[in-house]
Structure 1
Amino acid sequence: MSRTLSVHEAGLAVADPAAYSDEERLHEALTLLRRESPVHRVEAPGYNPFWAITKHADIMEIERDNKLFLSGQRTLLSTAEMDELQAQQRELGMELRTLVHMDDPQHRVVRAIGADWFRPKAMRAMQTRIDELARQYVDRMAELGGECDFVQQIAVHYPLYVILSLLGLPESDFSRMLQLTQELFGGQDEEMRRGESAEEQMNTVFEFFNYFNALTAARRENPTDDLASAIANAVVDGGPLSDTDTASYYVIVATAGHDTTSATISGGLHALLENPDQLRRLKDDPSLLPTATDEMIRWVTPVKEFMRTASADTEVRGVPIAKGESVLLSYPSANRDEDVFEDPFRFDVGRDPNRHLAFGFGVHYCLGAALARMEIQALYRELLPRLSSIELAGTPRWTSTTFVGGLKHLPIRYTLT
C-alpha cells in the first residue's frame, strides 16, 4: 500500500464520513496511524477534538476498564453542532439513551431486560424461523430473474424481518422502520440522510420515539409474548423504565439489530466476489461457514467506532489523556491490526483464530452477536448450494458514515438452481 497521506491527513480521515465509502483510502489512513501514531489527537474542522485509538490491544484495554473510560458523556463521533444539540436534549431529558449510551450500574441492569431473548436457548428456538426466512429471500433472488441490487432488494430486508418479528411489530410497519433506520445511520450520507442540519436529522429520532411510545402504551395495556412486551413491562428499581429509556431500548434493538447484519451479509458477498478462490473453497466445504461468517464480520466491521471519555487523568500507550478528553475506538483499524491478524488484508474463510472486535469487547459486547451469526450463516447455507454463477453487474457503492454502515448498493448478476 503506497503512502499518499501525511499522519495529520490520516487522522482527519478518521472523522471524514466520505473516507468510509472509500476503503482503500480509509485503510491507508488507519494503517499509517497504527504504525506511526496509534494514539493520535484529531482536531478536525467541525468536530470537538478527540484521540483516535487504532491498535487492537489498546482498544481492548479501554473497553475492559469501563470505570475509567465512560460511554455516557460522548458515545459517538458527532459534529460539534450535534454534540451541542444532544447536550441540550440531555438537559431536557429528551436524549436518546440506548445501552451503548449507558455506564454501570445502570447499563448492567437495563441490559438484563433483553438478555434472555438473545441467549443460546432462545436463539435455538428461532433457528427454524430464521431458516425459513433465509429460504424465502434466496427464492426472492430467483424470482428477480438473475439480476438485482443485493443490498437494497435482499440484504436490508431479511435481517429486518427477523428482528422486527422478534419485537412483535406488524409487517405493515417494516418499510417505515427501514426508512427510519437508514436515515438514522445514514445521516452523513447524501443519499440516505433526511436533511443537512442537525435539527432535521434529530427529527428521525423523534419519529422513532413517537412510534415506540405508542407501542409501549399498547404493550402495557395488552402484553404479548414478544420482546416489545418484555421491554415495555420491565421493572427497574421498583418501577417501569421512563418513556425515553423504553423508546431508546426499542431503537437500539430495531436498528442496530438489523442494519449491522445486513451490512455484513452484503459486504461478505462482495468479499466472496472479489476472492473467487474463497467462494469456491466455501462452496466445496460448507463446514467452513462458521469461520467464514466471522471473517465476513471482521472484513466489513459494520460498527466503525464508539467513543469513550476519560473519568480521570490517564495515559494510553504512554500518551497522556486528560480527564474529560474523548477517545475514539476505531474498530476497522483494530480488525486489520498486523500484530493480531496474520496477513490482515487477505480475506480468508477459514481464518482461525479470529479475534476481531466487530462486536466490541467487555461489558458493551454486542447483545445480538449470536443472532447476527445465526442469520448470516442461515442465508449463506441456503444461497451457496443453489449458486451456479455470480458476478458484479455494476459498481458497488458504500455509505458515507463514521458510525454504522457498509455497502448501500451491490448490483449482481447470477444463476440460481
Structure 2
Amino acid sequence: MDLDEAGRVFTDPTAYADEKRFHAATALLRRHSPVHRVASDGFAPFWAVTRYEDVMAISRDAQVWHNAPRTAVSQDPSAPAPPVRTLVQMDAPDHPVYRGVSADWFKPAGVRRLSDRIAQLAKRFVDHMADLGGECDFVTDVAAHYPLYVILSLLGLPEEDFPRMLTLTQELFGTDDVDLARNPGDTAALETLLDFFQYFQTVIANRRAAPTDDLGSVIANAAVDGEQIGELEAVGYYVLIATAGHDTTSAAISGGLHALLEHPDQWRRLSADPGLVPTAVEEMIRWVSPVKHFMRTAAEDTVVRGVPIAAGEAVLLSYPSANRDEDVFADPGAFDVARTPNKHVGFGFGAHYCLGTHLARLEGRALYNELVPRLREVELAGVPEYMQTLFVGGPKRLPIRYTIS
C-alpha cells in the first residue's frame, strides 16, 4: 500500500475490524510520514499523527490544541455544534469546571469504595460463564454486561433499564457497523442521542425532586459557576459516563481475552502466575486501544515534527498507532502479560486524560482475578468479529469453548 492508501484507514470503518491491515498502514506512516495529510471523500481534511512522542506533545498542550470544534474524524467542523455537549467537546475554562463535578467519584479513593461491589459483579459474571455449560460468546454474554452493571449502578439507574442503555450505546458507537447501527441513514447517531436525551431528562427531574446517594444525583444537582448545571450539560455528562464508561472497558476485557487465545504462551504464563493480572490488564488496554482517536484543532499556526499546521487545521491522534510505536515499546507487535514499563496512551493524556481510568483498571483486574484461577481450558469456538468503527470499538463477537470451575 502507498502512503495515501495508508492514511485512508482512518476514514474506513472496516480497517479497525482488520487488525493486520490497520497496523500495517500505521507502521508505514510512522516510518515514512508520521504527520500525514489525509484527504478522503466525505471527510474534512486532517493530519494523521501516528508517533507516540507527537501524540503526547499535542495532548499536553491544551493552549495550542483545542478539542472544539472537531472531536472525531466523522464530524464536519463547519456544521452546527451538537445539541448535547460532553466533557469531550469542552476546552478551558469550561472543561476543568465540569470535570470537577464528578472527579472525586473517579479518584483512587472514590473507586476503592467500589472494590467489593465490583468483585461481586466479577464473580457473578464468571459464575454465569459456568452456568452456560462450557460455551459462550464472551462479548455478548460477559464483557458487554459486566462493566455496564458497574457504571450504571454508580449512576443509580434501575437494573431493568440496563439492556436499553446497552442497546443505545451500541447504536451510538456502532453507526458504521451494519450489525449494530440503528439504521443506515446519516441521522442514526442523532436519533440515538435523542433517545438518550429523553431518558436522562426523566433521570434529572427525578434526582432534582428527590436526590439520592449516587453519581446521578451529584450530576443533576451540580452547581457550575454558582448556578445549577444546565439540562443539556447534565444530559451530556450522563451520556458520556453511561456509554464510554462501560463500552471501552468491555472492548479491553474481550479484546484482551482474544489476545490471550492468540498467544497461548501468554495464557499459560498468566495462568501459572495470576499475580501478573495487573500488568496483563495494562497490556490488554495497550493492545486493543478501545478509543481509536481523538481530534485536536490548532488554535494558532504551529509545527509538528517539522510539518507546518495552520490555525484551524485538525489533527487526528491515533492511539492504536502510538501504542505500537517501535521507539517506545520493545517488540510492540508482541502481546506480553508482564510488559514493564507500559506507558501506553490507551486512556489518552493531558487535560482530557480519561476520567474513568482507575475504575476501568479495577474492573479489568477484578474480572481476570476471578477468571484466571477458575478457567482450566479455553479455546475459540468460532471466528471472532470486530466492530466496524471510526471512533470507539473492539470485539463484537468472541465465541469460546472452555472448562471452568
TM-score bin, normalised by smaller chain? over 0.9
Alignment map for 1:216-255 (pairs within 5 Å)? 216-255=204-243
Determine which of 15, 29, 32 is the counterpart of 2:28.
Answer: 32
Work out the CA distance in 2 between the residues paired with 1:64 and 1:176.
37
Correspondence for 1:300: 288
Correspondence for 2:161: 173
Whether the aligned pair in 2 keeps the contact of 1:149 and 1:411 (CA below 8 Å) is: yes
Paired amino acid for 1:75: T
Correspondence for 2:336: 348
Work out the CA distance in 2 between the residues paired with 1:119 and 1:319.
38
Work out the CA distance in 2 between the residues paired with 1:287 and 1:98.
37
Determine which of 375, 391, 394 is the counterpart of 2:382.
Answer: 394
Q: Deviations over 1:335-376 (max 9, x none)?
A: 000000000000000000001001000110001000000001
Correspondence for 1:59: 55
| Secondary structure in structure 2 of the residue aligned to 1:198 | coil
TM-score by length of 2: 0.99
Alignment map for 1:244-393 (pairs within 5 Å)? 244-393=232-381
Q: Deviations over 1:157-205 (max 9, x none)?
A: 0000000000000001000000000000001111111122222321001
Work out the CA distance in 1 between the residues paired with 2:4 and 2:109.
48
Paired amino acid for 2:273: D
| Secondary structure in structure 2 of the residue aligned to 1:307 | strand
Correspondence for 1:406: 394
Whether the aligned pair in 1 keeps the contact of 2:296 and 2:314 (CA below 8 Å) is: yes
Cα shift at 1:79: 5.4
Correspondence for 1:186: 174
Cα shift at 1:288: 1.1
TM-score by length of 1: 0.96
Whether the aligned pair in 2 keeps the contact of 1:118 and 1:370 (CA below 8 Å) is: yes
Work out the CA distance in 2 between the residues paired with 1:70 and 1:201.
23
Q: Deviations over 1:10-29 (max 9, x none)?
A: 00112111100000000000
- The answer as to 2:42 corresponding to 1:46 is yes
Work out the CA distance in 2 between the residues paired with 1:301 and 1:104.
26
Q: Deviations over 1:68-106 (max 9, x none)?
A: 0100210111154xx56xx33x3xxx5231111110111
After TM superposition, the structure 1 stretch with the greater mean CA deviation from structure 2, 194-203 or 120-129, is 194-203
**RMSD (Å), alpha carbons:** 0.9
Work out the CA distance in 1 between the residues paired with 2:27 and 2:83.
35
Paired amino acid for 2:189: Q
Correspondence for 2:10: 14
Paired amino acid for 2:180: M
Correspondence for 1:71: 67
Between the aligned residues of both structures, percent identity stands at 60
Whether the aligned pair in 2 keeps the contact of 1:195 and 1:201 (CA below 8 Å) is: no
Work out the CA distance in 1 between the residues paired with 2:259 and 2:49.
26
Paired amino acid for 1:168: G
Whether the aligned pair in 2 keeps the contact of 1:291 and 1:352 (CA below 8 Å) is: yes
Work out the CA distance in 2 between the residues paired with 1:355 and 1:120.
19
Whether the aligned pair in 1 keeps the contact of 2:175 and 2:188 (CA below 8 Å) is: no
Consecutive aligned runs of 4 or more in structure 1 exceeding 3 Å deviation: none
